Amino acid sequence: MPTKGKTRLHFTDAEQDGGRLKEHDRAKEREADRAAMRKDAPPPKDRKKMKRRMTEQKSGAGKKKKGKSTNPKTAKTAGQLQFEENKPKPPSKLSHTVKDAPVLALSGKLHHKVSEAEDDNVGVESTHRLEQTAEAGVHLTERSRRAHKLREYRATERAEINALHRQSLRDNPELGSNPLSRWQQKQAIKKQYAAAKRSGQRAGEASKATSTMAERVSDTLKGAAETSKQAGAFIMRHKKGFLIVIGLFLILVMFLNMMSSCSVLAEAILGSSAGGTYPCEDADMLGAEADYAALEAALQHEVDNYPSYHPGYDEYRYDLDSIGHDPYVLIAILTAYHQGTWTRNEVQGTLQMLFDRQYTLTQTVEVEVRYRTETRTDSNGDDYDVEVPYDYYICNVTLDNFDLSHLPVYILSEDQLSAYSVYMANQGNRPDLFPIGQYPNASQRQDYMDYDVPPEALEDEVFSAMLTEAEKYLGMPYVWGGSSPSTSFDCSGFVSWVINHSGWDVGRLGAKALCNLCTPVSPANARPGDLVFFINTYDAPDPNAPTHCGIYVGENMMIHCGNPISYADLTSNYWQNHFYCYGRLP
């Protein structure tokens, strides 16, 4: 008999003599061994029950199934119980971030400590760079692994959304009539899908909700179309009234445009006027002018009493330029140089700088050996005359006035020079600031002389192009050294600009260089488009070289950069006294 507490039955030798019992005993042994193996084997994978439903389509065609079955003739479903391994959930994007946060924080602190020592140790810096590169590679690998895990889930979601979108278009074809409707529908499906996914709904329910939404959109579009149709019919019934309304609206638009243009023009005029107005107080400007005039008065006193200031010479010889300046030039320079408002105290250094650059007072001393007759008495008591040599000291005094109006091109930037030319063009909108009776050197605003060139002269296309370009700048002020519209011009800068914009390319040339460029022609053969040159219009180093130039337009008239740019009559005494020659451009 088997004993209790044992896992197997045991028989005596006598009971095992039968062959049948031995056969059963061997079978029991094999079963016990299998049970032991199952006990030692690893646990099975987590499985869940899944019930699959099937439908038999043909009578007698179905195979035998375990579990429930149905009669094939009735086509009823048969159930089968199966097991399916649980699919793993997609990896969470948040979980690895939370897990890695402490590690990343510690790593950041370590990198901060190491970076503090980098400046003092090149080796540490190199090692730190290698470490950071390695860590970046590890992080990149980890991100790639997570992205690879999520790929199949994202692809599944996209496929399901696209399937829902196609199904919705089949059910509601009017929603696919234009790209906007299709885009709106797809965005709605995405939102519905995401909501269904969060709440555990099935894809079929999300599709149903999306279809409902699409129907609402379709109804809205249909309603809008119907409303538009009704509005069109109303307009056709009252088209005269609508035409009147449209006409009044167009008149209003035109009126507003005219007002806008006028306001822009007014702003431009006011802006130009304001931009050329001196921004300083009268007291500061008049004070600065008085201070500069005081410097000139002191210079004049020194020149007039030079022997008292510099005694010890036998003779004083003088070569003196006149002393004086245009107060409008002074204020324009100060305002442009200081780029706006200034006070009298602020410009004292600038006044001295301008004075030193405008006036140069020099003296040179010559020593001559001269002889004088002296009467002497010989040993006999007789007088006789003797020629005795001696040194004779001559002080040569020279005063050069560079002209204050010539300084801006040397001390101002291009932008400052442009501002200076604007101030000079309208005298800072203060022609009353320096009245001519009190300030005899003050320039007076002059209108440019206009002239109608004979039409036959304009038949020459080259001359016509020159004149068109030249007349653009009528009325602009003379600025020594100026060579562009932004800075205004001097005489040679004006002529150079015009010819360079009329087919030539000669660069910026002076009056002498322009004359050398041309072929001389006689006054009788001069024609419109030739250049005309003058000498001794100011004290130049070479008294025989041209100092002024203009463009001949025929009929004894020229256009030139005087002050301002203007036409001029060549038969006047001034131009006849300084005339040099005509020249024809190559």
pLDDT on residue 177: 56
The DSSP line for 222-271 is HHHHHHHHHHHHHHHHTHHHHHHHHHHHHHHHHHHHHHHHHHHHHHHHHH
Nearest to 396 by CA among 310, 324, 323, 322: 310
Q: Is residue 580 part of a domain?
A: yes
| CB 7 within 8 Å of CB 32 | yes
pLDDT on residue 237: 66
| CB 196 within 8 Å of CB 205 | yes
Residues 400 and 473 reside in one and the same domain: no
Residues 409 and 510 reside in one and the same domain: no
Of 191, 215, 239, the domain-final residue: 215
pLDDT on residue 234: 66
Nearest to 516 by CA among 541, 540, 485, 492: 492
Q: Is residue 17 part of a domain?
A: yes
Q: Is residue 240 part of a domain?
A: no
Residues 148 and 198 reside in one and the same domain: yes
Number of structural domains found in the chain: 4
Residues 103 and 207 reside in one and the same domain: yes
Give the residues across from 80 on adjacent strands: 52
Q: Which residue has the tokens 């109006």?
A: 405
Q: Is residue 236 part of a domain?
A: no
Residues 395 and 466 reside in one and the same domain: no
**d(C-alpha 490, C-alpha 563), whole Å:** 9
Q: Is residue 60 part of a domain?
A: no
**d(C-alpha 461, C-alpha 563), whole Å:** 28
Tallying the residues shown for the chain, one arrives at 586
DSSP H helical ranges for 305-345: 306-309, 327-337
Per-residue CA distances from 336 to 275, 429, 575 (Å): 11, 15, 33
Q: Is residue 238 part of a domain?
A: no
pLDDT on residue 276: 83
Residues 472 and 376 reside in one and the same domain: no
| H/E stretch holding 82 | strand 77-85
Residues 385 and 455 reside in one and the same domain: no
| H/E stretch holding 30 | helix 19-40
Residues 130 and 185 reside in one and the same domain: yes
The model's pTM: 0.53
Cα–Cα–Cα angle for 470, 473, 479, rounded to 5 degrees: 110
Binning the chain into helix, strand and coil, the percentages to the nearest 5 are 55, 15, 30
| CB 423 within 8 Å of CB 489 | no
Of 199, 215, 231, the domain-final residue: 215
Residues 466 and 514 reside in one and the same domain: yes
pLDDT on residue 16: 55
Q: Hey, what are 442's tokens? A: 């003050």
How many H-runs (helices) and E-runs (strands) does the chain carry?
A: 16, 13
Residues 392 and 482 reside in one and the same domain: no
Give the phi and the psi of residue 315 in degrees, each rounded to 5. Answer: -150, 145
Nearest to 186 by CA among 205, 160, 147, 224: 160
Q: Is residue 251 part of a domain?
A: no
Give the structural domain span for 149.
98-215
Residues 417 and 463 reside in one and the same domain: no
| H/E stretch holding 28 | helix 19-40
Per-residue CA distances from 199 to 91, 112, 185, 203 (Å): 19, 45, 21, 11
Nearest to 585 by CA among 520, 524, 511: 520
User: Can you list the residues of the chain whose pLDDT is less than 70?
Assistant: 1-29, 31-155, 157, 165, 169, 173-186, 193, 195-232, 234-235, 237-240, 242, 257-275
**d(C-alpha 352, C-alpha 407), whole Å:** 13
| CB 329 within 8 Å of CB 402 | no
Give the residues across from 316 on adjacent strands: 395
Of 198, 215, 232, the domain-final residue: 215
Helix (H/G/I), strand (E/B), else coil: 73: helix
Residues 450 and 412 reside in one and the same domain: no
- Residue 525 maps to which CATH number? 3.90.1720.10
Q: Is residue 57 part of a domain?
A: no
Residues 6+ away with beta carbon under 8 Å from 462: 502, 503, 529
